[in-house]
Chain A
Amino acid sequence: MARQILHINTDDFYASALRLRDPGLKGRPVIIAGPAPRGIVFSASYEARGEGIERGMTVSAAKRLCSSGRFFPPDWGLFRKISATIFGILEQYSPSVEAVSLDEGYLDYTGCGRVFGHVLDTGSRIRRDVLAETGLDISLGIASSKLVSHVASRSAKCAHMIDVYPGCEQRFLAPVDIGRFPIVDRKHIPLLRELGISRIGDILCFSEEIFSFCFGRWGSRLYRGAAGIDPDRVRKGKERVEEFRIEQLLQPDLVDKNTILAFIYRMSERLGEKLRGERLLAGSIGMEIRYADSVTSSGKKRLSGPTSDDRSLFDSAGALFERLFSRRVRVRAIAVSAADPDPEPLQICLFGGSCGTAEKQRRIYSVLDDLRGRFPEGIAPLFGRAVCAGGLPSSGRQGRPDRGARAEAAPGDGDPGRKDIFK
């Protein structure tokens, strides 16, 4: 039986949500961003995008481009409430609903047609329900895979839906611009264009082996995706967390390695806390550095063994930073991510030795996480403020970065929207 996957995308979600709160904003360029002047534009309405505003630009640059724009800080409470309503509606139509972010998600409709009718009619009903409950419009893409349904909803836009018939995926994708392919990042586009690939169909002019050789696993996935093959299933609930990411905007921009490493230590702690909260162990660690001149450098490192230990995470993140930080340019933002999570083993300790040490460490972290939860700003000085000034010790805790620094968190954080410093 051919799968039927719906990709649901809320049109202009963040700006539309703010317009619900303040109808006077209708038709005006709305920009959701951090505090001026160094805050980052997180989302912009269609009107603002028409004036050249893009995600990731600084507020001062955005103000220069769009003086008539209205700037607002993100209202996460409002966004989450609306998002919960939308996903509540989707869950009425299928038990398999995956939230990708606050404003988009997948629904596996396979086999549900017998209960709710033809998928196009269901799409219309979902849109009507969402409009009635939240006042927001959605676009829908329907296809036999997540990837194709995502491209379809991107092509549909503005209260439309596209249903791609099974077996026609490759032909549907062929003429679509490569920039619309969800697995292609902005940084990949110039590289692919250099290879003469401007449309998804152009990828198939090469062989899978070439892509696999040049780009590794991603290349292979890209080739198969262009052929319309994507076996990825719709994951619901906690299954969907594939990466935990912590982002930090440095204020001011920094070039001193030790100070940046102190930030990375704090981020590793938060990453470890998140992993332990979900009872997961990270298999690899990734890092992205954004310099003051907007150049971005990123890398990934497989950990020697799955871990949620702060110190191990920091050791790998620090080594990765040493490798990536190759320019004498100030750093504006850093992101550290833990990927390939595995569930924490539940085997209880039968003997002493290293097992006992691990158990002791787990208890210490449990107490620390609890303390951090209760005193989010208060316990760091206990663990060595002097480190910031004196550089990194070979072991032990790092000092806390300046309090002025603004932290941004990402998908696994429950704030999927706050991931966009780098976009």
Chain B
Amino acid sequence: MDTPLVLKILYSLISLAVITIWGLSLGGIVRKIYARVQGRIGPPFWQPFIDIIKTYGKRTAVTHGIMFFLGPVFRIAGGIGTYLFIPAILGSTIFSNFSVSGDVLLVMYFIFFGQLGMALGAGESGHPYSAIGVARGLAQMTAFEVPFALSIIAIVIQYHTLNITTIVLAQQGSILNWTLFTNPLATIAALIALLGMNMHNPFSVVLAPQEIPIGPPTEFHGSYLALMQTNRGIFNAAKLVLYMNLFFGGATNIFALIIKTFSIYMISVVVGVSFPRFRTDQSIKFFLFVPTLIALLAIIILVL
């Protein structure tokens, strides 16, 4: 708390700007990759920026009510908040964000903040597809939360702390100190959970463009949608940063951050392009079986 508050806010804004740009670009890159895998040329990697600017520019805007109006705000506040509670780069004042607010538990629960608000906003639109999407999304979320939580418990056992910075510090020195190598089972479980979090195939039934046109955000448009698109970049990046910190030794500078998050993201992208979609109940069963067992094994090994 040495840094004055104003400076702190300024730093956070910088940090936020960087992560927003990186997050959105990452999205663009992934679309490019998808296109290439499917034999298309695909949009340029800056396409997300163009999309956002375009949607902001829409003139007409309707609202279904106050919660509908607030939904996107909740959503992006959730994304930004999640990021702000994670120390992004070890030792950097600018990128330490507001991580003094709380430990990894705070981050885990703050993830829900945006999802809840979004769900409420989508709910007020009265669109059945939104509700269906939310029902699916929440259901899937409860399932992947299990391996994710268990692998975090495994990390806590391993490092005796909930403090993210301490966890990152403990992984410094050598690549072999990374949780990835010291605790591979927990990492695998968490990465499988990440597939669900990112809602790529095979866990994309929440958005299911052909069935329930993009699910929860169906009714959102214009500035609402722009906010949500922005959030998609930030939130994605925030999750990746969290994973990087917990399992991949964190980052000591911005380049390490970019490389590591990119690599982590590629895992779900690769899986995403190679698999078809699960039904909701199938993905629930999957998450509660394979990755959960792996994570439990990780804990058992540590306790023993």
A binds B: no
Q: Which residues of A pack against B, CB within 8 Å? A: none
